[in-house]
Amino acid sequence: MKIAVYPGTFNPITNGHTDLVERASGLFDKIIVAVGTNRQKGITLPPEKRVELARAVLGHVPNIEVCAFDTLLTDFVKKANSRIILRGLRTVADFEYEFQLVGMNRILDPDIETVFLAPAEHLSYISSTLVREIASYGGDISKFVHPMVAAAMAEAQHNQK
C-alpha cells in the first residue's frame, strides 16, 4: 500500500491544498494530511480547528486521513508506515526551501522520499500566509478557501480584536 504523508500547518487550508490532495488521491492508496505546528509561524487557528476544517473540506476524498502531529516529520512518516512525503511546489522560492527540507529529511531518514506536485495554474498564487494577511485586514478570502474556512478565519479575526 502506497501511503503518502502531506504535511503542513494548513493555517488555513486553501483551495490550493484541496486541489493537490484531490489530484494526489489518484496516485496513492492513502494520503495522510498531517497538520503540524510550526513553532516559527504565528498561528491564527489552533491545531484542533485546522484538523476539523481539513476533515470537513477534504471529506469528499475517499482515501484520506487527517490528523495532527507535533514531532519530527520523518518520525511521523515512519510511524504512519509510509516512506513518502508529498509536497506542493508553487514558485522557485518554494523550491529552494523544499530542497533544503529534502536534504535534511534524507539525513534524518534516507529511506524516505519526497514527491512534489505543482498546483493547477489558477491556484498557484494562493498561499496560507497571504490568505492570513488578507483576513487580518478584514479582506474577502472567499476566492481562496472553502466557505467554512472563510467563516472560521473571520471568527478568529473577530476574537483577536
* Digitized pLDDT (tens) for each residue of the chain, 161 residues in all: 899 999 999 999 999 999 999 999 999 999 999 999 865 555 578 889 999 999 999 999 999 999 999 999 999 999 999 999 999 998 777 888 899 999 999 999 999 999 999 988 899 889 999 999 999 888 999 999 999 999 999 888 777 76
Residues 6+ apart with CB under 8 A from 30: 1, 2, 3, 4, 63, 64, 65
Question: Does CATH number 3.40.50.620 belong to domain 3-124?
Answer: yes
Q: Domain-by-domain residue ranges, the chain?
A: 3-124
Look up 17 and say whether it is catalytic. Answer: yes
Assessment of whether the complete model's pTM goes beyond 0.75? yes
**Active-site entry in 17, 87, 132, 146:** 17
- Nine-digit cell at 45? 487557528
Look up 41 and say whether it is catalytic. Answer: yes
**Active-site entry in 82, 87, 128, 146:** 128
**Active-site entry in 23, 30, 78, 90:** 90
**Active-site entry in 41, 60, 122, 143:** 41
- Give the per-residue pLDDT at 43: 52
